[in-house]
A = this chain, B = another copy of it.
């Protein structure tokens, strides 16, 4: 016998939708700045750079927050998306690596109107420890565990050279951090239950190079997929 429970109101938003919610949020914030009180799915989709059917489908996963014939109330939708993303609370972020990249990240002030607080910036180099960056004093990496615990850090950002990244990640994880954002060019291995996201300059460039090459090739075959046989 297969179980056939009646499906408990399908929670769980598709990953692809989660990844777009921040984009919608940013678009909505720009509308607030312009003082726009209400927006249709078509307008919002166009600002966010997506198809309007997709936008409506995405929002429908959160609930029914629009008004037929009218559109969406900008402030209200900002609130609902923020809540869904968990931005109505503050998350403590720690950055390891106080090189140019770490400093750039620490100085990246406006995290889409808050939700995040840079609690600490670490480095292994004694010559850098103590530097003032974005109002923080760079701490020595040896204090990572203490700081994570005291500051209740829940997101760790790795901005170190590749060779150091896995070690830093392990320390984050054993200190209890369960979300990691990795800028180092390595695949991190982490236990189940820890989320890792990766940002990699060289991968992005290589993907662009692939398409650039295709453009130069003179488009043999279904080069730009879709262009033809439409």
Using a CB–CB cutoff of 8 Å, the interface residues on chain A facing chain B are 8-12, 15, 18-19, 21-23, 25-27, 47-49, 84-87, 89, 91, 93, 99-101, 103-105, 107-108, 110-112, 115-116, 154-155, 178-181, 185, 187, 189, 192-197, 199-213, 215, 220-225, 227-228
Report yes or no: A112 in contact with B197, Cβ–Cβ below 8 A.
Answer: no
Complex contacts, A221 vs chain B, CB 8 Å: 8-12
Report yes or no: A210 in contact with B86, Cβ–Cβ below 8 A.
Answer: yes
Report yes or no: A208 in contact with B228, Cβ–Cβ below 8 A.
Answer: no
Report yes or no: A220 in contact with B108, Cβ–Cβ below 8 A.
Answer: no
Query: Please, which residue of chain B has its CB at the minimum distance from the CB of A203?
Result: B22
Give the number of times this chain occurs in the complex, counting copies: 2
* Cβ distance A199 to chain B, nearest Cβ, rounded Å: 6
Report yes or no: A86 in contact with B12, Cβ–Cβ below 8 A.
Answer: no
Report yes or no: A22 in contact with B207, Cβ–Cβ below 8 A.
Answer: yes
A11-B222, A12-B221, A104-B101 as given contacts; A197 in contact with B206, CB under 8 Å: no
Query: Please, which residue of chain B has its CB at the minimum distance from the CB of A187?
Result: B49
Q: What is the CA–CA distance of A187 and B201 in the complex, to the nearest angstrom? A: 18
Report yes or no: B105 in contact with A225, Cβ–Cβ below 8 A.
Answer: no
Q: What is the CA–CA distance of A15 and B208 in the complex, to the nearest angstrom? A: 11
Complex contacts, A212 vs chain B, CB 8 Å: 86, 91, 154-155, 178-179, 195
* Cβ distance A117 to chain B, nearest Cβ, rounded Å: 11
**28 A-B residue pairings within 8 Å (CB atoms):** A8-B221, A9-B221, A11-B220, A11-B221, A11-B223, A12-B222, A15-B225, A21-B206, A22-B207, A23-B203, A26-B187, A48-B187, A49-B189, A86-B209, A91-B212, A93-B205, A100-B104, A104-B104, A179-B212, A192-B227, A193-B227, A195-B211, A195-B224, A195-B227, A195-B228, A199-B199, A199-B201, A199-B204
